[in-house]
Amino acid sequence: MKRYYVFLVSILLLALLIIWIGPQQMWEMIKTANPWLILLAVGIHLVVVWIRSLRWGYIINQPWEFKKNFIVKTIGLFAGNFSPMRTAGEVLNAVAGKKINGITLSEGLSAGLTERFFDGVIVAVLLILCACLLPKVRLIAVMGGLASLGLLVVIYLINWREDTSLWIYNRIHSILRFLPISEEVVENFYQKFTEGLRSMIEYTKTFSSFQNLLVVFILTAVSWLLECVRLYVVFVAFNVEINFVAIIIIFLLANIIGIVSALPGGIGSIELSLTGLFVLFGVSSAVGGSIAMVDRLASFWVVSALGIIFASYYAKDILDDIKGYTLGLKASKKD
């Protein structure tokens, strides 16, 4: 039931943004945008997804499986878009990879955490570098960069350090015992999680050569910069001029706020934060809100629609596999 309340909060935030600007004023503003440039923004975002699918394929040693990798990555992004802090993305990405790429779940989880680690690296580096170039928001940009660095430490401890990751889970496991879950289920979860964790870390270490990590770093950097280019193109579609460095800071900060808000895919919180940051850089609220809504349509909602299409072919098996791996529901049905 709680998840429905979370979605309700997202809807209320979007409604608040529309009411703040005025639905009629927003619609009139959107109608002035160049439709061809909006389509270009959609195309740029699909290229971003393709680059991220290429990164996924490289990590799992299947770089030339373009179609499979694109489908798996899109399903993972779709799952992340509708889960708090995008936490379901890595899990469903891994399970989709098991079904479609034929990899183990441990390899998929390792790849997902490696991707998120390098996402954090790029976000931190870009924010701190851009903070040096744009004093206007230097403090908040540095704070965002430090927040990303903090996330990096946690991911590193989980994905590369077996002793630390097991220690973290053992603390969580002691809490699970107090929840209304049967002892058998808790122990089954513990056994499968710890076995998978060791395999995941082992795979991460075998992949972590300098060349491999450099390729992943470059692909990650290109994907994030292209996302900023997409937002810049949307600005051009509305005939609004803005510093590209400002675009980078605004986009990255809005994504951090979306994650911290714990709303599904940052729905509502990202649109509001984008609009507020646009206003900070001299863009009117009507134009800024319209740009935020159109940019999210060209990225978030387009990928979500593709994810629904792809997941419709694989979702049933994938969800069953998640239940079987964690809670052992498949086994309980057979007994």
Q: Is the pLDDT of residue 160 over 70?
A: no
pLDDT at 89 over 80: no
Q: pLDDT (tens digit, 9 = 90+) per residue, 179-193?
A: 444 565 555 555 655
The answer on pLDDT for 227 being more than 80 is yes
Residue 264 pairs in a beta bridge with 84
The predicted pLDDT at position 32 comes to 92
Task: Report the pLDDT averaged over residues 171-186.
Answer: 54
At 29, is the pLDDT very low, low, confident or very high (cuts 50, 70, 90)? very high
pLDDT top residue among 326 and 273: 273
Note down the domain range covering 112: 33-223+304-334
Q: In this predicted structure, what is the pLDDT of residue 132? A: 83
Task: Please determine, for residue 174, whether its predicted confidence score (pLDDT) is greater than 70.
Answer: no
Judge residue 140's burial from the number of C-beta atoms within 10 Å of its C-beta, 0-12 exposed, 13-18 middle, 19 or more buried: middle
In a domain, 69, yes or no: yes
Question: For a pLDDT cut of 70, what percent of the chain falls above it?
Answer: 74
For the stretch 242-259, pLDDT in tens is: 999 999 999 999 988 888
pLDDT at 319 over 60: no
Mean pLDDT score across all residues of the chain: 80
Q: pLDDT-based confidence at 318, cuts 50/70/90?
A: low
Instruction: Classify residue 39: in a domain, yes or no.
Output: yes
236 domain-assigned: no
How many separate domains does the chain show?
1
Residue 141 within a domain: yes
- From 38-47, 68-77, 194-203, 267-276, the region with the lowest mean pLDDT: 194-203
Examine residue 178 and state whether it is found in any structural domain, yes or no. Answer: yes
Rounded CA-CA distance 62/64 in Å is 6
Contact (CB, 8 A) for 130 and 145: no
Q: Is 281 inside any structural domain?
A: no
For residue 286, being part of any structural domain is answered with: no
Rounded average pLDDT over 255-283: 87
Let me know if residue 235 belongs to a domain: no
